[in-house]
Structure 1
Amino acid sequence: MKKPHFVFGCAALVACSLFAHTAIASNVGKRYASEKKTYTDAVTGFEVTVLTKDDAGMSKPYQTHTTWTADGKWIIGRGNRGGNGSQSFLINENTGDIIQVTDGPLSGTGSQNLARKSMKLYVIRGGRAQGAAADAPATPRQLVEINLDPLITDAMSGKPKDASAYERIVCTLPEELRDAGGFALDADETKAYWGVTWGTPPPRPAATAPATASNPNERRSIDNANTNPAEAREAARQRFATNGKGPGGIRAIDLATGVVTKVIDTEFRMGHVQTNPWVPGEIIYCHETTGDAPQRMWTVRGDGTGNRPLYVETPDEWITHETVATKDEVMFNIMGHLPYLRERPTGVAVINLRTNTMKLLGQVEEDMGKGQLGGFWHCNGSPDGKWAVADTFKGDVFIINRETGEKHLLTTDHKMKPDHTHPIFSPDSKRVLIQSGKQSDGKTLDLMYVELPAKWSR
Structure 2
Amino acid sequence: MSLRKTSLLLGLLLATVPAWAQIGQRFPSEKRVVNDPVTGTPLTFLTTQPRGDSKIYPSHPQWTADGQWLVFRSARVKGEAIAVNEASGEMVQVTEGGYEGMLNLAQSGGNRLYFLRKAPEAKAMQAIEVDLDRVFTDSKAGAMKPAASYQRVIGTLPAELEAVGDNALDADGQWFYFRIQGKAYAGARLPAGTKVEPPFGPRGMGAGPHAIGKINVQTGEIRHVVSVPFQIGHIQSNSWNPGELVFSWETGGKSPQRTWTVKGDGSGLRLLYPEAPYEWVTHEAFIGKDEVALAIMGHRAIPGVVDPSRPAATGVEGANPGQDAAWGDAGTREKPTGLAIVNLRTREMNLVGQTPSGSGLWHVHGSPDGRFAVGDDFSRSLYLIDRKTREMLLLTTGHKTTARDHPHPTFSPDGRKIQIQSAMLAADGRGMNICIVPVPKAWLERQP
- Distance in structure 2 (CA, Å) of the matches to 1:127 and 1:269: 24
Q: Is 1:448 the equivalent of 2:424?
A: no
What's 1:54 paired with? 49
* Counterpart AA for 1:438: M
* Counterpart AA for 1:191: W
- Distance in structure 1 (CA, Å) of the matches to 2:216 and 2:119: 21
- Distance in structure 1 (CA, Å) of the matches to 2:132 and 2:348: 40
Q: Residue 202 of structure 2 aligns to a residue in which SS?
A: helix
Q: Is 1:126 the equivalent of 2:118?
A: yes
- Distance in structure 2 (CA, Å) of the matches to 1:181 and 1:321: 18
- Distance in structure 1 (CA, Å) of the matches to 2:200 and 2:209: 19
Residue 223 of structure 2, aligned match among 247, 256, 261: 261
- Distance in structure 1 (CA, Å) of the matches to 2:422 and 2:161: 34
After TM superposition, give the deviation of residue 140 of structure 1 in Å: 4.2
After TM superposition, give the deviation of residue 177 of structure 1 in Å: 1.9
1:56-455 equivalences under 5 Å are 56-82=51-77, 85-104=78-97, 107-117=98-108, 118-126=110-118, 138=122, 140-180=124-164, 182-199=166-183, 238-239=201-202, 242-340=204-302, 341-366=332-357, 373-415=358-400, 417-440=403-426, 441-455=428-442
Q: CA contact under 8 A between 2:340 and 2:350: conserved in structure 1?
A: yes
Structure-2 change in CA distance of 1:443 and 1:345 (3 Å): same
Q: When the two structures are aligned, how many residues end up with a matched partner?
A: 381
- Distance in structure 2 (CA, Å) of the matches to 1:187 and 1:146: 17
After TM superposition, give the deviation of residue 409 of structure 1 in Å: 0.8
* Counterpart AA for 2:201: Q
Q: Residue 149 of structure 1 aligns to a residue in which SS?
A: helix
Structure-2 change in CA distance of 1:109 and 1:79 (3 Å): farther
- Distance in structure 2 (CA, Å) of the matches to 1:311 and 1:155: 45
- Distance in structure 1 (CA, Å) of the matches to 2:298 and 2:212: 31
Q: CA contact under 8 A between 1:180 and 1:269: conserved in structure 2?
A: no
Deviation sequence 1:91-128 (CA, Å, 0-9, x none):
00010000001234xx1153010100021101111169
- Distance in structure 2 (CA, Å) of the matches to 1:270 and 1:237: 13
After TM superposition, give the deviation of residue 334 of structure 1 in Å: 0.2
Deviation sequence 1:336-358 (CA, Å, 0-9, x none):
10023111111100111111111
- Distance in structure 1 (CA, Å) of the matches to 2:20 and 2:219: 26
* Counterpart AA for 1:374: S
Q: Residue 111 of structure 1 aligns to a residue in which SS?
A: strand
Structure-2 change in CA distance of 1:447 and 1:194 (3 Å): same
Q: Residue 376 of structure 1 aligns to a residue in which SS?
A: coil
Q: Can you give the 5+ residue segments of structure 2 that lack an aligned partner in the other structure?
A: 1-18, 185-198, 303-331
Q: CA contact under 8 A between 1:387 and 1:402: conserved in structure 2?
A: yes
Q: CA contact under 8 A between 1:191 and 1:255: conserved in structure 2?
A: yes
Structure 1 runs, 4 residues or longer, greater than 3 Å off: 137-140
Q: CA contact under 8 A between 1:187 and 1:280: conserved in structure 2?
A: yes
Q: Residue 159 of structure 1 aligns to a residue in which SS?
A: coil
Root-mean-square deviation (CA), in Å?
1.9
Deviation sequence 1:60-110 (CA, Å, 0-9, x none):
11111011001110000111113xx32111100010000001234xx1153
Q: CA contact under 8 A between 1:181 and 1:270: conserved in structure 2?
A: no
Q: Residue 227 of structure 2 aligns to a residue in which SS?
A: strand
- Distance in structure 2 (CA, Å) of the matches to 1:109 and 1:430: 31
Which structure would you say has the larger Rg?
2
Structure-2 change in CA distance of 1:140 and 1:249 (3 Å): closer
Q: Can you give the 5+ residue segments of structure 1 that lack an aligned partner in the other structure?
A: 1-23, 129-136, 201-235, 367-372
- Distance in structure 2 (CA, Å) of the matches to 1:337 and 1:318: 9
* Counterpart AA for 2:114: Y
**Identity within the alignment, %:** 43
Q: CA contact under 8 A between 2:119 and 2:156: conserved in structure 1?
A: no
Deviation sequence 1:368-412 (CA, Å, 0-9, x none):
xxxxx4111100010111000100110000100011100011111
- Distance in structure 2 (CA, Å) of the matches to 1:99 and 1:139: 30
- Distance in structure 2 (CA, Å) of the matches to 1:138 and 1:33: 38
- Distance in structure 1 (CA, Å) of the matches to 2:230 and 2:297: 22
What's 1:16 paired with? none
TM-score normalised over the length of structure 1: 0.80
Deviation sequence 1:301-324 (CA, Å, 0-9, x none):
111110001111100000000011
Q: Residue 209 of structure 2 aligns to a residue in which SS?
A: strand
Structure-2 change in CA distance of 1:125 and 1:180 (3 Å): closer
- Distance in structure 1 (CA, Å) of the matches to 2:233 and 2:429: 26
- Distance in structure 1 (CA, Å) of the matches to 2:355 and 2:282: 17
Deviation sequence 1:240-271 (CA, Å, 0-9, x none):
5x311122110011111111111000110011
* Counterpart AA for 1:248: H
* Counterpart AA for 1:294: P
TM-score normalised over the length of structure 2: 0.82
Q: CA contact under 8 A between 1:26 and 1:162: conserved in structure 2?
A: no
